[in-house]
Amino acid sequence: MVTVKAAKAERLLNLVIALLNAPSFRTAAWIRQKVAGYGDAPTEEAFLRTFERDKKELRELGIPLQTPPNGADGYRIPRSEFALPPLSFTPAETAALALAGRLWETTALGAAGSGALRKIRDADAGDGSVETGTDASSEDPGEGGPDGAVQTLLQPRVRTSDPSFEPMLAAVRAQRAVEFDYRKDPGGPAEPRRLQPWGLVSFRGRWYVIGHDEIRGERRTFRLSRIAGELRPVRRGPAVRPPAGLDLLAAVAATVRRPVADRQAVLRVRAGVAAGLRRTAVTVTPIDQAPGWDRVQVPLGPLWDTARLLAGHGPDVVVESPADLVEATVTLLTGSLRAMRARTGQAPGPTPDEAPLFDERDSE
C-alpha cells in the first residue's frame, strides 16, 4: 500500500523528470495529462491546488522552476541550473574535501556532509576518488598505501556537544521558529525567548544561533550552551526566511563579546580524589561542616566540556556554582541515570532534588 507521503514524493519526482527533460515550456494542462500523479485529481480546481503546493515545495528545495518571461502558462527546469557542471580537482583539493567530510561524520551534520561529497564525486571529471582522498583502487581507506595509517589515525572531529544543537539544527532546516529559556548571564535566571533561527555558526570554539527574536523584534545571537532545558518548536506560522545576502559568520563575530577569562567553578570534592581537578585549583579549603570533603575552586572552561568532566567523577564531585554549570552537570547525570534504568528495567528513583548530594555518613 502506497502512503500519502510516498505518493507525493513520487509525484514530485515525476514532475522534476518531466520538466528537466522538456525541450520547451510545458503548460499546466500538459502536466495534468502527461505527468503521473496529477491525472487522479477529480476536478480542475483540485489539480491546481495540488500543483501550486508542489511548485512551492520544489522552489523551497532550491529547484529552479522557470516560467516564460512574458507571463504565459508554462514551466521548465533548466538543466544547466539544476545539475552540477563537470568538476575537476587537484590532489590537494581532493584531500581537503575528504578531510572536510570526515570532519563532520560523527555529528548531526554527518548525513548532509556525506550527501554533499557524493554529489561532488558524481560530478567529478577525474578518477572519482573525492570521497576518500586516496587511490580509488584501495577498498579500505585505512590501508592500501603509506598514507592509509595516517588517514585512520588523523581523524578530525567537530564537537557538537550542546544538547540544543541537533534540535536547533532541525528547526533551521525546517524553517520553523522555536521557543526556549535562555541565560544571558551564566549565573542569572533563564528568560523565555522566541526565535526565528537563520543559521548556526561556530565561533571561537562555541556554537551560536542567529535569527530574529520575536519578543524583542530584532536580530539577536544566542550561545547554545546557555539555552536552559529543551527547545520547543513552534508548529504554526510562516516559514523562516533569513535576510538575503546575510553573512552569518560576520554577523555573529560582530555581536559576540570575548569570553570572560576569569570565570570560576566552586566544587565540593571528596578528600583524596580528583587529582586532576586539584592540580588546576585556585584554592582548596577543607569543609568543617562536612569532614572528608574539600571546597575546590577551579577555572571554568567551556560549559559542557567542564560538565562532562565533573559528571565523570560521579558522587565524588558536587558542583556548587555557577548555576549554568550546576544545571548542565545535573542534566548529564540524570540523563545517564534514565538511560541506565531504561536498559535494566528498574523503576524510577528519586528526582535530583530528593536525592542526597553526598552520603549522610560522611557528615557525621
Tell me which of 12-16, 103-107, 240-244 is least confident: 103-107
**Could you give the dihedral angle defined by the CA atoms of residues 118, 123, 126 and 130, in that order, rounded to the nearest 10 degrees?**
-20
3-state secondary structure of 67: coil
For residues 148 and 118, the answer to whether their CB atoms sit within 8 Å is no
In a domain, 159, yes or no: no
Q: What single-letter amino acid sits at 70?
A: N
Domain range spanning residue 298?
A: 264-345
If asked whether residues 337 and 270 sit together in one domain, one would say yes
The pLDDT, as a whole number, for residue 198 is 93
Cβ neighbors of 148 (< 8 A, separation 6 or more) are 134, 138, 140, 141, 142
Backbone dihedral region for residue 204 (phi beyond 0: left; psi -120 to 50: alpha; all else: beta):
left
Answer whether residue 38 is part of any domain: yes
Q: Evaluate whether residue 356 is within a structural domain.
A: no
Residue 360 falls within a domain, yes or no? no
Among candidate residues 220, 238, 255, the one where a domain is terminated: 255
User: Do 99 and 134 belong together in one domain?
Assistant: yes
Specify if 31 maps to a domain: yes
Query: Under 8 Å CB-to-CB from 30, ≥6 apart: which residues?
Result: none
Q: Is residue 64 part of a domain?
A: yes
Q: Are residues 177 and 225 in the same domain?
A: yes
280 and 237 in a common domain? no
- CA-based nearest residue to 258, from 326, 209, 213, 206: 206
Cell 522555536, located at residue: 178
- What is the count of structural domains for the chain? 4
pLDDT for res 154? 43
In this structure, the answer to whether residues 78 and 101 fall within a common structural domain is no
Identify which of 289, 292, 303 has the alpha carbon closest to the alpha carbon of residue 269: 292
Helix boundaries (H) for the chain: 4-20, 28-34, 44-60, 79-82, 91-104, 110-123, 148-153, 165-174, 248-255, 275-279, 303-311, 323-344
What confidence category does residue 246 fall into, taking pLDDT thresholds of 50, 70 and 90?
A: confident
Cβ contact 218:262 at 8 Å:
no
SS3 for 150-207 is HHHHCCCCCCCCCCCHHHHHHHHHHCCCEEEEECCCCCCCCEEEEEEEEEEEEECCEE
Confidence class for position 190, pLDDT limits 50, 70, 90: confident
Same domain, residue pair 272 and 235: no
Q: Are residues 247 and 174 in the same domain?
A: yes
Res 179: pLDDT: 94
189 and 233 both lie in a single domain? yes
User: pLDDT class for 109, splitting at 50, 70, 90?
Assistant: low
DSSP 8-class letter at 315: G
Selected residue with higher pLDDT from 39 and 94: 39
Residues 47-101 have pLDDT tens digits of 999 999 998 888 888 888 889 888 889 999 888 777 767 777 787 777 777 766 6
CA 77 to CA 37: how far, in whole Å? 19
Q: Is residue 160 part of a domain?
A: no
Do residues 272 and 237 both lie within one domain? no
Does one domain contain both 327 and 304? yes
Q: Which residues contact 269 (CB under 8 A, 6 or more apart)?
A: 277, 278, 293, 294, 295, 296, 313, 316, 317, 318
Grid cell listed for 22 = 522538456
CATH number at residue 73: 1.10.10
Q: Are residues 134 and 189 in the same domain?
A: no
In a domain, 54, yes or no: yes
Distance separating alpha carbons of residues 231 and 236, to the nearest angstrom:
15
Dihedral over Cα of 357, 360, 362, 363: its sign: positive
Quick one: 268 and 341 in the same domain?
yes
